[in-house]
Structures are given as C-alpha cells and as structure tokens.
Amino acid sequence: MSNSIISTLKKKVSKKTWDNWFSTFELKEVEEEKVVFSVANLFIKDWLQTKYGGAISDSIAEHLGKKIPFEIIYKNKAMPSEDSTGPQTSGSLLKRKPLMISNLNPEYTFGNFVVGSENKALYEVALDVAQSPGKYNPFFVYGGVGLGKTHLLQAIAQETMSNFPDKKVLYITSEQFMNDMIQSIKENNIQKFRDHYRKKSDILLIDDIQFLIGKKGVQNEFFHSFNELHDSGKQLIICSDRNPEELETFHSRLKSRFQMGMLMSIQEPQPSTRFHIAKQLAQRESVSLPDDVAKVLADNIDGNLRRLRGAIIKLIVHSSVFRSQIDLSLATQILQSFTGSVNVPVSQRPIDQIYSAIEKIMKVTRKEIESGSRSKDIVLARQLTMYILKNHFGKQVTEIARETGKQHSTVIHSVKKIDKSVMMGKGATKLLFDDIMGIISSSSAAV
C-alpha cells in the first residue's frame, strides 16, 4: 500500500519534477491520523509541502479511501546512496558547468598580499589551508570592509588549484549561491544545483556569507551543503563581515558549525603596512609610487584598502591625463577629495610650497604677501597664492582666508580674477602661474 501512495504520487508529477524534488522522498509511516513522509533536506521539505501538498494529499486519499493529514519530516542522511561520492546515476547532471573558477581575480594572489605583523598569523594559516586542505575545517575569516577578505579567499583558491591541479575548487559569493539556487528552483532542477555544490567541489569557498542574513531557506540549503562537504572531508572556507555570533537570523547550529574549525579575524593594517600596500597596489598598475606619496596616502587613508586603491587609481589617471608627475602635490590634492583634510609634514604644506615658489619667481616674500601692501606685484602674488590654494590644492575659501589672514571677499575676488587670466591663457599672469606651478610640482617630487 505504501508503495502505491508513492507510485500514485509519482504519476501526478512530471518525471523531471520527480527526479529533482522527490529523489529523497520516502514514506515513513501510515498512522491512524496521519501519514508521515521523510525527506533528506529541510529546504525540500518546505518546498514539497507548499508546492506539492495538494498532490500528496490526493494520493493519500486515493489509497486510503479518506483524507488524512500528512507530515513531512526531515531525516538527515536519509539517502546514503545520494550522498556517496561514488559514481552517480544522474548521468547528464554530471556534465553540467565545469568549475566556477573563471571569476577569480588573477591579482588576488598570496604573492600580491602584503603581510604586516597584524595579519601575519592569518596569512600563514591561509597558506597552510591551501597546502593542506582539510586541516582547518572550516576556515572562517571575518572582518570589516576593504580589509582584504576577498583577496585572501581568492589567493587560497588559486594557490590550492596550483598545488592540487586535480582538486575541484569552487569560489562563489553567497549571493551567487542564492541566485543559483533560485534559478534551479525555477527550472525545477534543485538536484542539479545540489550536485554542483555538494558533489563537484573538493574545496568550497564562500564569500560574504552575511548576505544570507534573513534568508532562512537559503541558509538551510547551505547548511546541508556544508554538512555534506564537511562530513566527506572537503575543505570549506567562509568569510563574513562579522563574527559568526553576530550573524543575525542564522540558526545556532549553523553558527556553531562555523566555529568548529579555525576562526580568525582580519585586522586593519597599520600605517606602515598600508605604505607597502600602497606601493604594491600601484605596482599592480605598473606604476612606481614615490615613497613620500605612498607615505602621505598611508597616513591619510584609513584601513579600508578599497579607498586606498581608489586614491591610487585617481592619482594614476590624473597624472596620465594631465601628463603631470605623481608627486606629493598631486597626492595632496587628490587626498583632499577623499578625506577633506590632509596631514602633510609642515614644510610640505601647500601654502609654504606656494610662498617659496613665488619668492623664487616673483621675488615677493611671504611677509609681503601677508602684509596689507597694495603694491601691484604684491597684490598679484597674493592673488596667485589664493588661486593656487583653491584650484590646485582644493582648499575652501574659508580656509584660504584663515591661512592668508585676508577677508573672505578678497579671496573670492582674487580667485576669480586669476581664473580669468589663466583660463584665457592671458599674458604675464599665465606665464607666472605656469612657472610657479612648475616649481611646486618639482619641489614636492624631490622631497
């Protein structure tokens, strides 16, 4: 009789649906008040209940002659044959997508990962994982944005691939995992999805697991993939922007799985490490960053290395578009737009650079510029100072007024006046401006 319930049900759905969803579905018990089925996956359990509840009820009624409620229970490892890593019977499923390794960034290698004292231990464990998969399982890395988690994860993926060419390495973000899962459900193909993750990877790397917060169904699916891989000794590497404890809505059993291997945090690099990272990031773009520029960037941009990289790219683009050198003055200017204020050594302050260049070119001293003199040269020197502070160093009017000890309105008027001459490429003023700028650029490069 029990077999008839199952076989009736089987006739009610398409073969594809059956293969995809009902492959672990079994009749457990027929009681007086209910019929109990079991299934090997929590997510499937919910899905069958909502999608095929009607068909299941009808099959029961046809065979028992009355409507009896049913229950589907989740039975872990109900189907050992499905879980085995031996030859599969699912034929075509095996030939699906090869490895999903194509979206690894070739620059995210161990060689390109600068190690400071703050992340030395982490780096070594990561390298160890890539040399001895399974040793620390799972390997869970967490830390803030832009600290290098994705870089490290992909470095492990690439290193493992080169150490063990036969191992199948699968790197994916948890968002991709979810999208794949949804897609497979749409296509009635959840089994294919499962095989892909559970049977076809020897090393599974999942990035940004925090994305699954609030997505219970996907968490459950992931839980089973995790267990199956872990039980068969496959290496799992997971990263997150927070500690497993702080993964809200994650079931405690999943959180505790995350903690049972090696749990490590990634630390914000100190300025000295950031200095080397800055040089390295530029090197990746085939640009050699002068030490003073790398230092000012490292000192002014916090640990978020995406911002550091952003500033370096901006520097490189700016210097190639305007054919200017990458120097302290350009770096200071770009940093302004990133941080609002920049700490540069006192002797390198923009205003000092301008005063000393003006003195060389125009023979007007700082003292004269800061005086109330209305002499023509001095007024021009003053106006040029203000203009360069504003347009070249990106200073605010208020700041310029404070630094030069002049009125707000004077600053605005001066900037406008010089702007006109420079924009129109007008005579002497433009020539003076170019000469002053030439000195500013070369003097800051020489520091």
Is residue 109 a contact partner of residue 158, using CB atoms and an 8 Å limit? yes
DSSP letter at 195 equals I
For residue 266, give the DSSP letter: P
As given in the structure block, the two tokens for residue 127 are 């390298």
| Contact criterion met (CB below 8 Å) for 364 and 357 | no
Tell me: does residue 410 bind ligand ADP (CB under 6 A).
no
Smaller CB separation from Mg ion, 149 or 198: 149
- Tell whether residue 146 is among the known ligand binding residues: yes
Q: Is position 148 annotated in a ligand binding site?
A: yes
Q: What is residue 324's DSSP assignment?
A: -
Of the two residues 113 and 258, which places its CB atom closer to ligand ADP in the complex?
A: 113
Q: Structure tokens of 235?
A: 């290496």
Shortest Cβ 264–ligand ADP spacing (Å): 13
Q: Find out whether 48 and 9 touch, Cβ atoms under 8 Å.
A: no
Residue nearest to ligand ADP (CB): 148
In the three-class reduction of DSSP (H, G, I as helix; E, B as strand; rest coil), residue 214 is classed as coil
Check residue 147 for interaction with ligand ADP (CB under 6 A): yes
Beta-carbon contacts of 270 under 8 Å, excluding residues fewer than 6 positions away, are 116, 117, 118
Q: Which does 49 bind (CB under 5 to 8 A by kind): ligand ADP, Mg ion, none?
A: none
**Binding of residue 279 to ligand ADP (CB under 6 A):** no
The number of CA neighbours under 13 Å toward the Cβ of 445 is 13
Among 210, 265, 280, 356, binds ligand ADP (CB under 6 A): 280
Closer residue to ligand ADP (CB): 46 or 241: 241
* Phi (first) and psi of residue 67, to 5 degrees: -80, 120
Work out which of 96, 120, 306, 413 binds ligand ADP, going by CB under 6 A: 306
Are the C-beta atoms of 163 and 135 separated by less than 8 Å? no
Q: Which member of 229, 305, 378, 381 binds ligand ADP (CB under 6 A)?
A: 305
- We find the least distance from the C-beta atom of residue 273 to ligand ADP, in angstroms, to be 7
| Closer CB to ligand ADP, 104 or 305, in the complex | 305
Residue 207's H or E segment, with its range, is: strand 203-207
At closest approach, how far in Å is the CB of 138 from ligand ADP?
18
Angstrom distance (rounded) from CA 205 to CA 199: 14
Q: Nearest residue to Mg ion, using CB?
A: 150
Shortest Cβ distance from residue 243 to ligand ADP (Å)?
Answer: 14
Site for Mg ion in 228-247 (CB under 5 A): none
Nearer to Mg ion, 149 or 392 (CB): 149
Single out the residue of 408, 142, 432 nearest to residue 262, CA to CA: 142
Pairing of strands 169-173, 203-207: parallel
- Flag whether 149 is marked binding: yes
Residue 145 interacts, among ligand ADP, Mg ion, none and using kind-specific CB cut-offs from 5 to 8 Å, with ligand ADP
Q: What is the CA radius of gyration of the chain?
A: 33
Q: Nearest distance from residue 147's CB to Mg ion, in Å?
A: 9
CB-nearer residue toward ligand ADP: 84 or 103:
103
Calculate helix-pair angle for 350-362, 376-387, nearest 10 degrees: 150
Shortest Cβ distance from residue 309 to ligand ADP (Å)? 5
- Of the pair 198, 309, the CB lying nearest ligand ADP is at 309
Q: Select the residue interacting with ligand ADP from 43, 52, 113, 139 (CB under 6 A).
A: 113
What Å distances lie between residue 60 and 1, 13, 71, 401, CA to CA?
A: 10, 15, 12, 86
Choose which of 5, 56, 114, 298 interacts with ligand ADP (CB under 6 A): 114
Quick check: 145 binds ligand ADP (CB under 6 A)? yes
Q: In this structure, are residues 250 and 212 in contact, taking their beta carbons and an 8 Å threshold? A: yes
Please return the burial class of 172, using the count of CB atoms within 10 Å of its CB with bins 0-12, 13-18 and 19+.
Answer: buried
- Check binding of 150 to Mg ion (CB under 5 A): yes
Q: Applying CB under 5 A, which residues contact Mg ion?
A: 149-150
Q: Applying CB under 6 A, which residues contact ligand ADP?
A: 108, 112-114, 145-151, 277, 280, 305-306, 309
Residue numbers in the known binding site are: 146, 148-150
Residue numbers in the known binding site for ATP are: 146, 148-150
